[in-house]
């Protein structure tokens, strides 16, 4: 196939949601329909041996939650589909935010019974800022839910986007009978555990009396009224408006029972965008360019704990990536030959010979890559930095087993490179401080240090309000500030100066007293 054909058949998207909305379950069923797996796993797996493919880390299996983004690729029809299953828990939202920089579209999963939840709103805000097209899948229709029109009003109001149903549910909860697919005019009847493709029943004309045979008189009449109301109230589905991020098509179903998933997948591959141009600092990079370029959006240490392997996840932005070809590492200004690039199915990897824009490739890493690094075929390009936010919680990290100090040091170094937490070293006493956005991150770090590196740590409390990266064009003022605030100064992992304010009052006073210093609450990776 030509480069153009390869690009246009790729669909790279993230699945996002509030925790427990069914995001990872939906991912499993998409993989099932795509033929990538043969048995869908469970997310909550206390009694079920088959766990979700995307939850490949041991702690994910134990907790029944996703704590890291998983990458999975498969062929479906004539399309190459790349799914990035993201953590739903807010404590791991930075991983999700960075993942959204590497995708061309998003599927948002909403629990029909709970409606739009806070984490979903935050994620939609990121999609809106980036003008990323979104499709909404309203899940768990097999459970009692609000009136569907009320639910859609709530979605439009909370997510601030125009919606257009492309399927419509017939009841919910115990009375859930199925969905009518407005996209292709077929009726899908609900029945648990559909493992094979169900073509549905064609109904181009809902006035056909044959409809009563399947739904009964009451539900048939209600469906006709609902569809008539949809056509009168909601705008026609406009692919261009969807691609601009102004309109969200909506589908209904039950991921747990494989219902409505194939209809979602069929519509998605037809309307979702193929890889789009990406803004670099120097210029806009078009995917159709012959020259390869890409950027690192994720690092994962110990993706295979048996081999202590560390992988840099690279989004291919333009051109054709080829195995054993030499590419330029922009930050280090060095060239690298990549001899074992891999494609992913969560933790499973296979070596590939080439990749195209939209693909996510894994590059074995011995510490050369960090999040935000750019790779090119030689051109000087720098893709816009991936944001790293100021942590909200801080703890001193101490060695709980002096015999394993080297393992602890290596573990902290590698886990911090993943970007889920941040490491600061106090300039006063050299104590190491971990900064996170949520309490659960500390537990994950402690667990992974022990089970992946054989090192034990303990966390000690520290009074801290905010970490601020500081910059100034006035060297003398900068030095004076650092001298006066030495007790509150630290270095981050990249040796940048960080002011550790222990209260909002201290921070406000510092900003008032030193007008020539810029206090930044995000840093670009």
**What's the CA angle centered on 318, arms 313 and 322, to 5 degrees?**
65
Distant-in-sequence, close-in-space partners of 487: CB < 8 Å, separation ≥ 6: 428
C-alpha 322: how far from chain center? 26
Cα(61)–Cα(94) distance, rounded to whole angstroms?
Answer: 21
CATH architecture of structural domain 11-68+89-271: 3-Layer(aba) Sandwich (3.40)
Kind and range of the H or E run holding 226: helix 210-233
What's the count of helices (H) and strands (E) in the chain, helices before strands?
Answer: 13, 33
Region label for 293, one of left (φ > 0), alpha (ψ between -120 and 50) or beta (otherwise) = beta
Distances (CA, A) of 140 to 19, 66, 167, 251, 424: 14, 19, 15, 12, 43
The single residue listed with the structure tokens 């329909």 is 33
Superfamily of domain 387-524: Peptide chain release factor 3, domain III (3.30.70.3280)
Reduced to 3 states (helix: H, G, I; strand: E, B; else coil), residue 403 is helix
Asked if 388 and 304 touch (Cβ cutoff 8 Å), the reply is: no
Cα(186)–Cα(430) distance, rounded to whole angstroms?
Answer: 66
Distant-in-sequence, close-in-space partners of 204: CB < 8 Å, separation ≥ 6: 185
- Total residues found in the chain within this entry: 525
User: Which residue ranges make up each domain of the chain?
Assistant: 11-68+89-271, 278-376, 387-524
Cα(236)–Cα(238) distance, rounded to whole angstroms?
Answer: 6
The highest-level CATH class for domain 278-376 is alpha beta
Distant-in-sequence, close-in-space partners of 274: CB < 8 Å, separation ≥ 6: 7, 8, 9, 10, 11, 104, 287, 358
pTM, two decimal places: 0.81
Cα(162)–Cα(274) distance, rounded to whole angstroms?
Answer: 22
Cα(301)–Cα(305) distance, rounded to whole angstroms?
Answer: 8
Per-residue model confidence as pLDDT tens for the chain (525 residues): 789 999 999 999 999 888 888 888 898 888 887 765 544 444 443 333 344 444 445 544 554 444 556 788 888 989 999 998 877 556 566 677 778 888 999 999 999 999 998 888 888 988 898 899 999 999 999 999 989 999 999 999 999 999 999 999 999 999 999 999 888 888 888 877 554 556 678 877 888 888 898 899 999 999 999 999 999 999 999 999 999 999 999 999 999 988 888 889 999 999 999 999 999 999 999 999 999 999 998 888 776 655 567 889 999 999 999 999 999 999 999 999 999 898 876 456 788 999 999 999 999 888 889 888 999 999 999 987 566 667 889 999 999 998 999 999 989 988 888 877 899 999 989 999 999 877 888 988 999 899 888 999 999 999 899 999 999 999 999 999 999 999 999 999 889 999 999 999 999 999 999 999 999 887 654
Same fold, 11-68+89-271 and 387-524: no
């Amino acid at each position: 196939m030509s480069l153009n054909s390869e690009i246009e058949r790729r669909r790279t998207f993230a699945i996002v949601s509030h925790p427990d909305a069914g995001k990872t379950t939906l991912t499993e069923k998409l993989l099932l329909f795509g033929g990538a797996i043969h048995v869908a796993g469970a997310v909550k797996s206390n009694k079920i041996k088959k766990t979700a493919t995307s939850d490949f880390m041991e702690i994910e299996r134990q907790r029944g939650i996703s704590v890291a983004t998983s990458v999975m690729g498969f062929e479906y029809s004539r399309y190459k589909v790349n799914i990035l299953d993201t953590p739903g828990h807010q404590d791991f939202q930075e991983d999700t935010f960075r993942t959204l920089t590497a995708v061309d579209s998003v599927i948002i999963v909403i629990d029909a019974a709970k409606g739009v939840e806070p984490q979903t709103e935050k994620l939609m805000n990121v999609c809106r800022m980036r003008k990323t097209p979104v499709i909404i899948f309203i899940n768990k229709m097999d459970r009692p839910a609000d009136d569907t029109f009320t639910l859609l009003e709530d979605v439009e109001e909370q997510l601030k986007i125009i919606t257009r149903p492309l399927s419509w549910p017939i009841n919910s909860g115990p009375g859930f009978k199925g969905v009518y697919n407005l996209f292709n005019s077929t009726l899908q009847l609900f029945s648990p555990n559909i493992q094979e493709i169900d073509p549905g029943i064609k109904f181009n004309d809902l006035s056909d009396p044959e409809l009563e045979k399947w739904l009964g008189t009451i539900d048939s009449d209600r469906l006709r009224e609902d569809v008539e109301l949809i056509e009168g109230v909601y705008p026609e589905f406009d692919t261009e408006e969807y691609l601009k991020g102004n309109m969200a098509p909506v589908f209904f179903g039950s991921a747990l029972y494989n219902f409505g998933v194939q209809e979602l997948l069929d519509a998605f591959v037809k309307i979702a965008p193929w890889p789009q141009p990406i803004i670099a600092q120097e210029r806009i990079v078009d995917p159709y360019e012959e020259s390869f370029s890409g950027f690192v959006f994720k690092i994962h240490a110990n993706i295979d704990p048996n081999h202590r392997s560390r992988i840099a996840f690279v989004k291919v932005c333009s051109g054709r990536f080829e195995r054993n070809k030499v590419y330029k590492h922009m930050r280090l200004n060095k060239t690298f030959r990549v001899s074992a690039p891999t494609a992913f199915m969560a933790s499973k990897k296979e070596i590939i010979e080439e990749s195209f824009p939209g693909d996510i490739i894994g590059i074995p890493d011995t510490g050369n890559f960090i999040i935000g690094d750019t790779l090119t075929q030689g051109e000087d390009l720098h893709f816009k930095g991936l944001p790293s936010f100021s942590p909200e919680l801080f703890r001193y990290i101490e060695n709980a087993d002096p015999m394993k100090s080297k393992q602890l040091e290596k573990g902290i170094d590698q886990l911090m490179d993943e970007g889920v937490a941040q490491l600061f070293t106090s300039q006063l006493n050299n104590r190491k401080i971990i900064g996170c956005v949520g309490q659960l991150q500390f537990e994950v770090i402690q667990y992974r240090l022990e089970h992946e590196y054989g090192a034990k740590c303990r966390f000690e409390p520290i009074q801290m309000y905010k970490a601020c990266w500081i910059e100034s064009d006035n060297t003398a003022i900068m030095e004076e500030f650092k001298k006066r605030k030495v007790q509150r100064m630290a270095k981050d992992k990249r040796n940048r100066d960080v002011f550790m304010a222990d209260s909002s009052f201290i921070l406000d006073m510092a900003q008032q007293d030193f007008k020539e210093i810029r206090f930044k609450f995000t840093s670009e990776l």
